[in-house]
Amino acid sequence: MMPKTEDFAPSPGALIALYEQLRAAYGAQDWWPADSPFEVAVGAVLTQNTAWTNVERAIAGLKAAGMLSCEAILAATHEELAERIRPAGYFNVKARRLRHLCGFLADKGGLEALAVLPTRTLRPALLAVNGIGPETADDILLYALARPVFVIDAYTRRLLVRHGLASGTEDYETLRAGFERALPADVALFKEYHALIVEHAKQVCRRRPRCGDCALVETCGRIGIT
């Protein structure tokens, strides 16, 4: 089914204004925190429904074991891999997902080889990999492969609802399409926008971890977003 793009049509001015306020409040984020595109891809799987601090421990564990490569992950047993990524939670599930992703990458000739494929081909291919959903695929496309794809996450959804730009019932593709229609297809802008939304949520959640569906009120007020 085609996404319901008519349900989310923010004005470019509203999205740019929000971005500029976040940028003024938090400065340049220079995301994603990783040493290589492959580390970005691994991190994108490990961070599923998990705080980034736990993901950092898991990636450090993979690095320490010399397992931060497609070949090493595919060569390891399920138990070895799961043990290394245990701090990220859901370790059995994520170990399978990492192996699926690495199998896909190995089959395609590595992450670098994907550079020749257009996004309209690459995105469906990533989504066809078991364990790679829309957010994970878009993290990889934007931060590992520099494609102008806007990443939607729970923080983005909450921010949009808080500011009356979305109802909260829109599906992932609707929100992504809305951002991509309203904003210029600028990889640096998309990277920074998503990173700023995450930072914005972290700043608040650090103090008020159980603030329900209105977590952004305090910081929104402080930086003048209402």
Partner DNA sequence: TACCAGGAGAAAA
Partner DNA sequence: TTTTCTCATGGT
**Residues at the contact surface with DNA, assessed by CB under 7 A:** 1, 44, 47-54, 57, 86-87, 89-94, 129-137, 139, 151, 153-155, 172, 198, 201, 205-206, 209-210
Residue nearer to DNA on the CB measure, 36 or 92:
92
Residue placing its CB nearer to DNA in the complex, 121 or 130: 130
Radius of gyration of the chain (CA): 18
Q: How far is the CB of 68 from DNA (least distance, A)?
A: 18
CB of 56 to DNA, least distance (A): 10
Please give the structure tokens belonging to residue 192: 């920074």
Task: Using the minimum distance from each CB to DNA, give the nearer residue, 116 or 135.
Answer: 135
CB of 50 to DNA, least distance (A): 6
Residue 101's nearest CA partner among 132, 141, 62 is: 132
Min dist CB 80 to DNA, Å, is 14
Residue closer to DNA, measured from CB, 13 or 30: 30
